[in-house]
Amino acid sequence: MKRTKSRRRNFLLLAAFLTAALVLGLLIFGKYRESRQLPVAKPEPKPTGTIQLTLFFAAPEGDGLAREGRVTGPCADLAECVAEAVAELVNGPVGDLQPSLPPSTIVHGVRIDGDTAVIDFGHELVEGLPGGSSSEMTAVYSVVDTVCFNFPQLKRVKFLIDGKETDTLAGHLDLRQPLGPDYSLESAAAPAPASPPTDAPAPPHS
């Protein structure tokens, strides 16, 4: 009887040992397999460096547009690059030029539709714009010329106000359709731009 109990005890110990060994082996194999598997998606590299922009502000004599260079941080895609350029217009010039957009201007967002940049401004742009056709044209074309000059893949700019289409900003310039650039508005004191700067940003296409 004692011999039978001893054998049963030895059998149970052996079974427990084998079970533990099997579980441990499965865990080790699972860890090894995970370490050998390749990632499903390749990690996206983060943008680095800076970009050089050419911004169009109001000319110092208040007649037409003039250019100012600006170095900004990197941007991840074309829409973000456009938003960064417009944000620099809102920040205003750092030299002798005059602001083209009210400092209260808010940009809700930018999306790319083919060769058109659709920019959604807040109502602050309309409310902060001085009266008169000159200030309206300066504001509109400072944005259009800046976007199309720095990002040649974009040919036109569409203006939205608080997510909705708008006929005009101040009752003079028709904004129902996207607008292309008009470099003839640049002040005669500065040469008209012929091509984008050699170090213009080249973000990925949207």
Do 58 and 33 belong to one domain?
A: no
Q: What is the mean pLDDT of residues 96-117?
A: 97
Which domain covers residue 5, as residue numbers? 1-37
Q: What is the mean pLDDT of residues 13-26?
A: 64
| Confidence grade of residue 35 (pLDDT, cut at 50, 70, 90) | very low
Report if residue 164 sits inside a domain: yes
Select the more confidently predicted residue: 12 or 181.
Answer: 181
Q: Is the pLDDT of residue 57 over 90?
A: yes
Q: What is the mean pLDDT of residues 138-149?
A: 97
CB 51 within 8 A of CB 75: yes
Report if residue 198 sits inside a domain: no
Report if residue 76 sits inside a domain: yes
Do 74 and 30 belong to one domain?
A: no
Q: What distance in Å separates the CA atoms of residue 146 and residue 144, rounded to the nearest whole number?
A: 6
Q: What is the DSSP letter of 203?
A: P
pLDDT at 63: 79
pLDDT at 206: 40
Do 92 and 10 belong to one domain?
A: no
Do 89 and 151 belong to one domain?
A: yes
Q: Percentage of the chain with pLDDT > 70?
A: 67
| Confidence grade of residue 190 (pLDDT, cut at 50, 70, 90) | very low
**Considering its fold, how many domains does the chain have in total?**
2
| Confidence grade of residue 43 (pLDDT, cut at 50, 70, 90) | very low
Q: What is the mean pLDDT of residues 10-26?
A: 64
Query: Partners of 107 in the beta sheet?
Result: 121
Do 119 and 55 belong to one domain?
A: yes
Report if residue 200 sits inside a domain: no
Do 92 and 116 belong to one domain?
A: yes
Q: What is the mean pLDDT of residues 74-102?
A: 95
Q: What is the mean pLDDT of residues 93-97?
A: 94
pTM to 2 decimals? 0.70
Do 59 and 81 belong to one domain?
A: yes
- 119: nearest Cα among 67, 167, 157: 157
Query: Partners of 70 in the beta sheet?
Result: 53
Q: What is the DSSP letter of 44?
A: P
Do 100 and 18 belong to one domain?
A: no
Report if residue 192 sits inside a domain: no
Do 30 and 119 belong to one domain?
A: no
